[in-house]
Amino acid sequence: MKGDFIFTSESVTEGHPDKLCDQISDGLVDRFLQQDPFSQITAECAVATGILFIAARFASDAVVDIAGLARRIIIEAGYDHSGFDPNTCSVMTSLSALPAGDRFTRDEAEMDDDEMERMVVQNQATVFGFACTQTPGLMPLPIWLAHKIARRLATVRKEGQLPYLAPDGKTQVAVEYRDGRAARIHGITLVAAISGDAVPEQRQLERDLDDLVVRPAFAEEEVRPDDRTRLFINPGGPLMVGGPATHAGLTGRKNGIDTYGEYARQSDSALSGKDPTRIARSGTYAARHAAVNVVSAGLASECEVQLSYSIGLSRPVSLQVQTFGSGRIPDAEIAARLDRTFDFRLAGIIRDLRLRRLPALARDGFYRKLAAYGQVGRTDLDLPWEKPDRTAALRD
């Protein structure tokens, strides 16, 4: 992606209805895997005024209080009684048991090569991983900044600095590129839901959010707002209450926010609510891991890795690399080095990234933490797919 252009990405807080559904879905994945690391579980949620619907299919030895867990996550997202009451909302469930004999119950770390070949994918998927040198997290700058502002908005609310803020919020950052490089901030939009009796006037709201949210988010950034940057705060007027009382939510509806802010390609499959045997999720992490190592090895300043999987096969039928003219060696050679260095089979991904075991190491959940503010490019979490641990092999 070269030349002069403006690119915009958005993020939302954990109180946004779509992200509330993602957190509940991933909270269920965590709880099942914590009790039984060989659980198979898919969970999807929908939320609207006073109602939460959960559809889950699983094969597991775990025993999970699904409704109770969902209510706790709603509370921890910041909802009490205003707009969405976790204690009185209706929780409807549709639960289905998968055939127990279909799941793998052997640790991938103990499998020999033949066993790994027999662990085939059950769903077709084409997944993408991307990395670039625009930010310390090897992410595109627009989504990096949108996440920073969204997290700062949530922090200000949680710390009580602006008591009128509600959990729901959205941010958008437009970055102006010149000759393919981020040059300036074209515009920033921040939409914050408001609750309570003390509703601030628009000018006060703009001053508060600019001083406590926007400016601190850019404190350590090289590219910052300038005199020509447009700042829009609740441009459509006050968003009273927000959350499920205002707009419905659904699991998997924010794929761009979960990945690269649509600056790079992404799969159309949801990431949240799926156990590691679902290649749409594990393959996305593997592709990001590969792209991170290509860029960290200095082979390119921008890299996209594409993996295509077919049902009934253990490994991808296609591995493609694009460096958009930034590669030091041909893209085909980078792809060949990735194929030699990484095990892109389903069992190999689960083994190398420890995808079954990570929830048990985090008492408050692992996958649930990924459900807001991005599943890739997270410098606040110790994610195995963000580690540049294969760079030496790729340089050879």
Query: Which pLDDT value is given to residue 242?
Result: 86
For residue 43, what pLDDT is reported? 97
Q: What is the per-residue pLDDT across 84-128, written as a single tens digit (0 to 9) for each? A: 899 999 999 999 988 876 678 889 999 999 999 999 999 999 999
Least confident of 11-15, 98-102, 124-128, 249-253: 98-102
pLDDT the model gives residue 55: 97
pLDDT tens across 160-184, in order? 999 999 999 999 999 999 999 999 9
Tokens of 106: 């052997």
Mean pLDDT value across residues 52-68:
96
The predicted pLDDT at position 228 comes to: 96
Element (H, E) at 42: strand 40-48
Tokens in use for 259? Answer: 């990945």
How sure is the predictor about 240, in pLDDT bands with cuts at 50, 70 and 90?
Answer: confident
Using alpha carbons, select from 218, 208, 217, 103 the residue that is nearest to residue 163.
Answer: 208
| Mean pLDDT, residues 19-39 | 97
**Rounded Cα gap, residues 350 and 281, in angstroms:** 11
Identify the structural domains of the chain with CATH numbers, from first to last.
5-12+141-243 (3.30.300.10), 17-100 (3.30.300.10), 125-134+252-395 (3.30.300.10)
Q: What is the pLDDT of residue 362?
A: 84
DSSP assignment of 315-365 equals: S-SEEEEE-TT--SS-HHHHHHHHHHH---SHHHHHHHHTTTTHHHH-TT-
